[in-house]
């Protein structure tokens, strides 16, 4: 920010320009229909995208604070989660979510307030003043003495407009990514199952001309379906890369655990190579990925390895099939465990796979891959646009040079 412009900025305390709104209501008598809890607010996202309906299920006694459109909601518990959101409807929240608005809109624009609360310096202050270790919390009085540089009203408007434009770009990209994801699911549903047919078993809905084959018969005999290392042990920087569920959506490098060679040697059977398909089989069910070129290592107990016979099934075809709505329903029907879902190796081996000729598999792969690439590209662009918006926010609210200017 140019020094000449910063000279007009005023150093203020948060509590001098913003106030906590304490409008208490009875949810059952308020006439309101929606409530917002902590889980309805997302990290670094000013939009409220989810909410609960008053009267549907139990609503605890803490939910008695009314909020109105334009007011800011701030999660005062575990403030490191950085939950700041702007209401665009009227509703109720709990007393652990602060409802905040400007004291005087002629000093602090309502649209500028949430930007102040998204600043890194605000988050650092809030986290630093939090109390408690298990469920750290902050009082509004702790926020009140946070100091920051407040620009003139006209400058607030310019900054707000720039960031609102950037936010609009992010929203459009996220909507496009969601549409691409929906299209991917719809195309998969159309290609990988006969529409309108009932039944969970693939024999009930497989497309004409496809054959249902047990999964065990589709892998190479020298690499039967198996799970990985039961206890991966301590991290060894010189050890063998060992994938966990969290790595299936990663780059197969960052944060990957490395198991000591002595432990890994006991699980030669579960070693993986490029082209192998990996499934999550404990707790988090549904993750699926194909091992990329260049990776060699092993897997943890929560994953299963499938090395398909390429003359019968393409790994990428099975990956798309596994993610399709009908096959997901089939997999879910085979799970065991009431508290921690599991897909046993025995069950996995017996699961039926609807298999078309290889030429049809390749055609489906080509189309589904293209849709997936489009979705990924849009999602990545949305992330980069969001990161750019945050950089602009940081630069716009930077207090570098302000202290000298206002002294």
Each residue of 159-190: pLDDT tens digit?
Answer: 999 999 999 999 999 999 999 999 999 998 88
**Residues forming CATH 3.90.220.20 domain(s) in the chain:** 3-152, 213-350
**53-92: pLDDT as tens digits:** 998 888 889 999 999 999 999 999 999 999 999 999 999 9
- The per-residue pLDDT for 407 is 37
3-class secondary structure, 92:
strand
pLDDT at 286: 85
Q: pLDDT per residue over 6-18, tens digit each? A: 668 999 999 999 9
Average of pLDDT values for 277-289? 89
Residue 295 in tokens: 């990776």
Q: How confident is the model at residue 339 (pLDDT cuts 50, 70, 90)?
A: low
Instruction: Tell how far CA 171 is from the center of its chain.
Output: 15
Average pLDDT over residues 197-205: 90
Q: Between these two residues, 354 and 194, which has the higher pLDDT value? A: 354
Rounded distance, CA 15 to CA 402, Å? 20
Reply yes or no on whether the pLDDT at 135 is more than 90. no
Mean pLDDT of 92-114: 95
Tell me which residue of 366, 370, 383, 384 sits closest to 183, measured CA to CA. Answer: 370
pLDDT of residue 204: 92
Q: What whole-number distance in Å separates Cα of residue 145 and Cα of residue 143?
A: 6
Element (H, E) at 16: helix 14-17
Q: Which residues lie closer than 8 Å to 115 by C-beta, 6 or more apart?
A: 159, 160, 163, 393, 396, 397
User: In three state form, how does the secondary structure of 265-313 look?
Assistant: HHHHHHCECCCCEEEECECCCCCEEECCCCCCEEEECCEEEECECCCCC
The Cα–Cα gap between 215 and 354 comes to 10
What confidence tier does 5 reach under pLDDT thresholds 50, 70, 90?
A: low
Name the CATH code of domain 213-350 (choices 2.40.37.10, 3.90.220.20, 3.90.1170.50, 3.40.50.150): 3.90.220.20
Which pLDDT score, from 0 to 100, does residue 334 have?
Answer: 86
CATH number assigned to the domain covering 3-152: 3.90.220.20
Q: Which of 137, 130, 122 is nearest to 17 (CA)?
A: 122
Q: Is the pLDDT assigned to residue 396 strictly greater than 50? A: yes
Least confident window among 316-320, 349-353, 392-396: 392-396
For the chain, the farthest-separated pair of C-alpha atoms sits apart, in whole angstroms, at 81
pLDDT band at 205 (very low <50, low <70, confident <90, very high): very high
pLDDT of 3 reads 47
Banded model confidence at residue 2, pLDDT cuts 50, 70, 90: very low
**pLDDT beyond 80 at 398:** no
* Predicted TM-score of the model (pTM): 0.75
Residue 382, pLDDT above cutoff 70: yes
């Amino acid at each position: 920010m140019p020094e000449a412009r910063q000279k007009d900025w005023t150093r203020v305390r948060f509590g001098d320009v913003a106030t906590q709104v304490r409008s208490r209501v009875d949810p059952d008598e308020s006439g309101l229909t929606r409530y917002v809890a902590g889980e309805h607010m997302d990290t670094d996202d000013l939009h409220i995208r989810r909410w609960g309906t008053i009267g549907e299920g139990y609503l605890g006694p803490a939910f008695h604070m009314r909020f109105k459109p334009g007011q800011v909601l701030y999660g005062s518990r575990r403030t490191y989660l950085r939950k700041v959101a702007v209401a665009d409807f009227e509703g109720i929240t709990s007393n652990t979510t602060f409802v905040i608005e400007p004291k005087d809109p002629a000093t602090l624009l309502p649209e500028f307030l949430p930007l102040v609360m998204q600043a890194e310096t605000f988050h650092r202050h809030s986290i630093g003043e939090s109390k408690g270790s298990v469920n750290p919390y902050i009082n509004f009085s702790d926020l009140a003495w946070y100091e920051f540089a407040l620009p003139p009203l006209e400058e607030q408007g310019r900054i707000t407009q720039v960031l609102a434009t950037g936010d609009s770009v992010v929203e459009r990209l996220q909507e496009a990514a969601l549409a691409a994801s929906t299209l991917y699911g719809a195309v998969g549903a159309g290609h990988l199952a006969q529409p309108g047919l009932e039944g969970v078993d693939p024999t009930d809905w497989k497309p004409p001309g496809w054959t249902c084959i047990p999964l065990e018969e589709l892998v190479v005999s020298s690499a039967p379906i198996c799970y990985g290392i039961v206890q991966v042990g301590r991290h060894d920087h010189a050890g063998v890369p060992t994938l966990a569920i969290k790595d299936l959506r990663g780059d197969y490098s960052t944060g990957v655990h490395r198991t000591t060679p002595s432990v890994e040697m006991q699980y030669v059977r579960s070693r993986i190579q490029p082209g192998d398909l990996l499934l999550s089989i404990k707790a988090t069910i549904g993750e699926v990925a194909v091992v990329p070129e260049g990776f060699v290592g092993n897997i943890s107990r929560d994953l299963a390895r499938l090395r398909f016979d390429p003359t019968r099934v393409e790994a990428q075809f099975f990956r798309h099939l596994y993610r399709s709505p009908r096959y997901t329903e089939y997999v879910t029907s085979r799970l065991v465990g009431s508290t921690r879902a599991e897909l046993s190796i025995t069950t996995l081996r017996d699961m039926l796979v609807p298999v078309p000729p290889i030429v049809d598999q390749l055609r489906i792969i080509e189309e589904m891959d293209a849709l997936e690439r489009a979705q990924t590209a849009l999602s990545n662009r949305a992330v980069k646009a969001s990161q750019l918006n945050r950089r602009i926010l940081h630069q716009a609210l930077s207090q570098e040079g302000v202290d000298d200017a206002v002294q």
